[in-house]
Structure 1
Amino acid sequence: MTISAMPLLLLLLVSLSVGSCVGDHHQLLNFMTVKTSSLKHIAEGAVCSGHKVTMPSGDGVRWVPMNRPHGPCSSAAATTVVDGMLLWDQLRTSSIRRKLSGGRAGDGLPVIHSREAKTSNIDSSMTAKSTLGGSGGTSSTTMERTSEHLYSKVSQTVVVDTSSDIPWVQCLPCPAPQCHLQKDQLYDPANSSTYAPIPCGSPACTELGSSHSSGCSAGSDQCKYILDYGDGRATAGTYVTDTLTLSPTIAVKGFRFGCSHAVRGTFSDQTAGVLALGGGAGSLLAQTAETFGNAFSYCVPHPSSDGFLSLGGPVGNSSQFTSTPLIKNQHAPTFYIVRLEAITVAGRRLDVPPATFAGGAVMDSGAVVTQLPPSAYAALRAAFRSAMTAYGPLADPVRNLDTCYDLTRFPEVNVPKVSLVFAGGATLELEPASIMLDGCLAFTASPGGHGSIGFIGNVQQQTYEVLYDVGSGSVGFRSGAC
C-alpha cells in the first residue's frame, strides 16, 4: 500500500503500538490500492490493448472477440456520457422487470423530454462481429460469381443481448430515417445465394407468437416480425434465413433472423443489429442448442481490451468455474435469473438476511450496474461509505448512483474489497473498476421492496467468463478470463 498521498493516515500509523499495527495491516488486506485514473469508465487517451490472456487457437475455435461499444476496441467506437448510459440502463431494466412481472413491454414507460431524449438510448451492451450470407468460404470479404450474379458475405458488428430472443440486422431497402446510421455495410438479401424469406404459416413464423409477429406482407407469403423492446427501441421487417458465420468453425446454416427495414431508437451507436441469446424460442442459443449443447459463455472486458463470446462449453478449463443454479421464469423464459445470498465489504459479511434476495437477480449482458433490493443496497452503501471516509465529503450523485466522491485530489485510492456470494457458493470477487464507476459506487437500489427483482450488471461481470449452461441449469464464473 502506498500511503505517501495521505499524510494524516501516515501520522496515525506511526503513532500506533506494534500490536495495533499488526491488526491494522490485517485490515488493510481487505482494501485494494489503485490509481484513480483506473476507476474512470474510459481513461483519457485509452488505446485498445487486445486480449489480455492467450485465447485458444486451432480448428476447434468457437469464440469471437467481444467489446464494449464505446471503448477504443470497438469497431463502432463512439464517445458516451455515464449519465446518459445510466438513464438508458434504467429504461432497459424497467422494461425487463415489467416483462417478468407479467406486464407488457411498453407499459408505464417513463416520458423522455428534450435533453434526455438524446441520451435515452445509449446502449451499453457488448458488441461482437458476425457474418451473414455468401455462397461458400469463410472470409467476410469473399465474393463469388454464381448464375451471373455477384454473391457476397457481409461482416456486421452486432449487440450481444442475453435478454431478447429475436436476432436481427438492418437490411436493404433501409431508408433513413426509418433505419439508423451503421458503420458496416448493410446486408443486402439480393447479394446472398443462401438468403430465403420464411413463409407465413410455417412453424418458424408461428413460433414468433402474437407478441413478435405482424402477419404477412401485402401480396406475398413472407413472414413479418415486429419487436418492441419496451425501452424506447423497436424494429420491424421480414423474418428470413441465411448462413451466419461467427468463426471459421461456427457456421449456422438456415439461421433465422429479422431482416429489419425500420428501427426506432439507437442500438449501440452504428451497430447493425442484435445477436439475441435469450432463453426463449428463436434466439441464437435455441437455434444452436443441439449442435453446441445449449450453452454459451462470454467475458466482459474493460473498455480498453478485448473480451469474447463463445458457443458451447467454456473457453477456460471447466474445473476453474464456480457455479450457481439457474432459475427460469416459466412466464418469461427469455431471462436468466440467479440468486444472491450474501455480500461482503472489506472482509465483513453484511447483516442482510438471505430472504432479502428471494426475488432473484437477472444476469444480463446489457444492464450496466448491479441493482439490489433496497435494504441490501442500504447495507452495502453504509459499509462502503464507512470504508471511504478518507475521501469525503460525498460529491453530487450521478443519475441513480448516490455514493460518489471527488477523487481528483488523490493520485491513488484505497477501495474496499466487495464480493457477491451466490446460492451454491459461487462468488464474484470484484476488482476496483467493478466496484466504482467514475468515482461512484457502481450499485443502486432496485425499485420495490423486500425480495424485489435485481440485476447483475456488466460492470460487475468484468473480466469474468460467465457460462450460461442452460442444459445443466447453471451459471458459472471464472475469474481473470479477459
Structure 2
Amino acid sequence: MSSLKPHAAYSGQVMPRGSRTWAPLYRHPGLRSPPSFTGAAAKATAPSLADLLRQDQLRVDHIHWRLSESEGGVGVPMGSVKEPVRFGVAYLHDQPVIRVRLGSEYKSSEQQSSPGVVQTVVLDTASDVPWVQCAPCPAPPCHRQADSTYDPARSGTYAAVPCGSPACEQLGRLYAGGCANGQCQYRVPFPNSNRSSSSGTYGADFLAVGPDSGITFKFGCSHGESDDQGGSSSSNSDNTTAGVMALGGGPESLVSQAAANYGNAFSYCIPAATERRQPGFFVLGGAPPSSAYVATPMLRYQRVRTFYRVCLQGIAVNGQLLNVSPSVFAAGAVLDSRTAVTRLPPTAYGALSEAFRGWMAAYTAAPPKAGLDTCYDFGGAFFVAPPRVELVLERGNVLELDRSGVLFHNCLAFAPNSDDRMPGILGNVQQQTMEVLYDVAGGAVGFRRGAC
C-alpha cells in the first residue's frame, strides 16, 4: 500500500481531513501527470486544440444521444440529436486520473509477491462499468499504458464472474457481452463513439483506493478494444492510462459497489491546468454538503440512472443577471468529469457571450478557434482579468466559478448546444479548483470553492 500513501507535498487544503478513502488526483497527460508517466507516456504528443474540441464534442453528442434514445428524447426531437460517429479510442487530454491498487496477493514476473499492482485510471462520472486492460493484451488491439498491465492469472484473489449470476445479469442489455467458458462477458461502448468498445471478461478482485481502504470490486477485464467490424480501434489512441474508473449512478459503478462500506457518495477536486505545485484529490464516501458548500438538489433521469444533473436557473456576469428566462434551462445540466467545455442552451450562451464581450472590450478580439467563438489576443497584455461568472442554481444558490474556469485557450470556456431543449453539460474546466461533492444517497450536489 505504500505507493498509495500521500506524499508530504499533498498536505494542506488538498488532503481531505478525516477521510481514509482519498487519493491524489492528477490531470493526464497535462502539467501534473502522475510520476508513473515516463518513457512513451511522457513523450506523448498533445493534440491540437481543434482535435481536443472535436473529441469533446463527440463525447457531448454521445451523452445527448443516449438520453434521446432512452428518455423518450428528453424533450428533444430525435432529428436534432446527432448519432456519434466512430472515432476510435480517442481519449481526451487533461482528464482527471487517480492511482489505485488492484489485487491483494499478486505475483510479479520474478514470482515475488506484492499487494497488487498499481493502475492509473480515468475518473468518469458519465459511465457505469469500470474496466482496465488485462494481460495478455498486445498493442494493438490494446493501447499502450504507463503502468504494468494487470494480469488476472498472477492474482490469487481474482475470480471471473460466472454466467447467470446476479452480477452478470445486472449488466443488462447495454453492457452484457454474452458468455464464454462459463465466464460472464462485458462490453462497454466508449463515451465518444457508439461503434467502438472495450470488451472482455467481467471479474472481481480486491481494490484499494488510498492507503487504508479496500473492497472486493467487480470490473471489466479488457483484452482488446475494437469497433463493430472487429478491427482494432487503438490506432487513434494516445491514452496511457490503464482504463476507466466509472462513477456513474448505475449498480456496476465504483460508487454503487462501495456504498455499503463507505456510503453512497464521492467527491473530487480537479486542479487548474496551470497549477504545477500540487494535485487535486478524489474521495470515496463523504458526508452531506455542509455550510462550506454551495448545495443544490441532484436530479436523476428515470431510465438512464448513469447521469447526475443539476438545475440551472440563470447566469450572472460581474453580478449582473443575464436576461434569460429560467425556462431556457429547464432541461438541466449533466455533470461530467471528462467533458472539458461547458455546454449551454444556445439562447443562454448567446446572452453570456454578448455580456462577456462587453466586459472584455479593453482586450483585442481574436478569430474563433474550432468550436469556441469568443476569443481574444492577449499578446502584450500585462494582466488579464476576465469578468466574474456565476451560475445561479436551484433555490437561488449562487456558484462563482474560479477565474481559471472562465477562459480556455484564451476563449470563453462555454459553447452552445444545437437546441435549447437539450440538457446542458457542466464540464471539468468550470469545475476545476473546487471540490464537487456527489451525495447520491441524499440527492444533493455540493460545490466548495478553492479546495485545490
TM bin (shorter chain): 0.7 to 0.9
Q: Is the aligned partner of 1:68 residue 2:27?
A: yes
Change (3 A) 1:85 1:307: same
Contact 1:166 1:282 in 2 (8 A): yes
CA–CA separation in structure 1 for the residues paired with 2:271 and 2:237:
19
For 1:366 and 1:348, locate their aligned partners in 2 and report how far apart those are by CA, in whole Å.
Answer: 30
Q: Does 1:312 align with 2:271?
A: no
Change (3 A) 1:133 1:430: same
Matched, 1:383 2:355: yes
1:294 and 2:254 are equivalent in the alignment: no
2:159 corresponds to 1:188: no
Q: Do structure 1's residue 405 and structure 2's residue 405 form an aligned pair?
A: no
Matched, 1:95 2:55: no
* One-letter amino acid matched to 2:425: F
Corresponding position of 2:15: 55
TM-score, normalised by the number of residues in structure 1: 0.81
For residues 345 and 56 of structure 1, do their structure 2 counterparts lie closer, same or farther at Cα, with a shift above 3 Å needed?
closer
Counterpart check, 1:338 vs 2:299: no
Distance 1:163 1:317, change over 3 A: closer
Residue-by-residue CA offset, 1:130-187 (whole Å, 9 max, x unaligned): 110122xxxxxx8699xx9856510010000000000000001112211000000000
Asked if 2 retains the 8 angstrom alpha-carbon contact of 1:126 and 1:160, the reply is yes
Q: How many residues align?
A: 413
**Amino acid aligned to 1:347:** G
Residue 427 (structure 1) shift? 2.6
Higher mean C-alpha displacement, 420-429 vs 457-466: 420-429
Q: Which of 466, 469, 476 is matched with 2:436 structurally?
A: 466
1:353 is matched with 325
Task: Give the 3-state SS of the residue equivalent to 1:274 in structure 2.
Answer: strand
| Distance in 1 of aligned mates of 2:304 and 2:134 | 29
Q: Cα distance, 1:194 vs. partner?
A: 0.5
Residue 237 of structure 1 corresponds to 200
Q: Which runs of 5+ in 2 are unaligned?
A: 1-8, 72-80, 226-232
Residue 269 of structure 1 and its aligned partner are, at CA, apart by 2.0
**Distance of 2:89 and 2:137 partners within structure 1:** 24
Distance 1:285 1:426 in 2: 26
Q: 1:222 aligns with which of 176, 183, 188?
A: 183
Query: RMSD of the TM alignment (CA)?
Result: 2.5
**Hey, what does 2:407 align to over in structure 1?**
436
Contact 1:144–1:152 (8 Å) recurs in 2: no
User: How far has the Cα of 1:281 moved from its partner?
Assistant: 1.4
Q: How far did residue 259 of structure 1 move? A: 0.3
> Residues 160 and 395 (structure 1 numbering): CA distance in 2 closer, same or farther, change over 3 Å?
same
Q: Which residue of 2 aligns with 1:277?
A: 247
Give, in whole Å, the separation in 2 of the partners of 1:247 and 1:441.
Answer: 36
Q: Separation in 1 of the partners of 2:70 and 2:199? A: 21
Measured after TM superposition, the shift of residue 80 of structure 1 is: 4.0
Counterparts in 2 of 1:151 and 1:190: CA distance versus 1, 3 Å:
farther
* CA-to-aligned-CA distance 1:399-433 (integer Å, 9 cap, x gap): 11100011112121231111111102333212221
> 1:302 Cα shift?
1.4
Equivalent positions of 1:108-147 (< 5 A) are 108-111=82-85, 120-135=90-105
C-alpha contact (below 8 Å) 2:29/2:93 kept by paired residues:
no
Is the Cα–Cα contact under 8 Å of residues 294 and 399 in structure 2 kept in the other structure?
no
User: Kindly tell me: are residues 199 and 326 of structure 1, through their superposed partners in 2, closer, same or farther at Cα, counting changes over 3 Å?
Assistant: same
Instruction: Tell me: CA distance 1:224–1:120, structure 2 relative to 1, closer, same or farther (3 Å).
Output: closer
Deviations 1:432-474 (A, max 9, x none): 211001110000101213x321011100011111110011101
Aligned partners of 2:108 and 2:427: how far apart in 1? 43
1:173 to 126, 133, 136: 136
Query: Which has the larger Rg?
Result: 1
Alignment-derived partner of residue 214 in structure 2: 251
Question: Residue 94 and residue 410 in structure 1: after superposition, are their counterparts in 2 closer, same or farther (change >3 A)?
Answer: same
Q: Provide the TM-score with structure 2 as the length reference.
A: 0.86
Identity level (%): 45
Q: CA deviation at 1:56?
A: 4.2
Q: Find the aligned partners of 2:331 and 2:291 in 1 and give their Cα distance.
A: 29
Distance 2:104 2:90 in 1: 36
Structure-2 separation of matches of 1:162 and 1:457:
11
Note the C-alpha offset of 1:342. Answer: 1.1
Counterpart for residue 230 of structure 2: none
Q: Secondary structure at the match of 1:278?
A: coil
* Amino acid across the alignment from 1:88: Q
Deviation at 1:322, TM superposition (A): 1.9
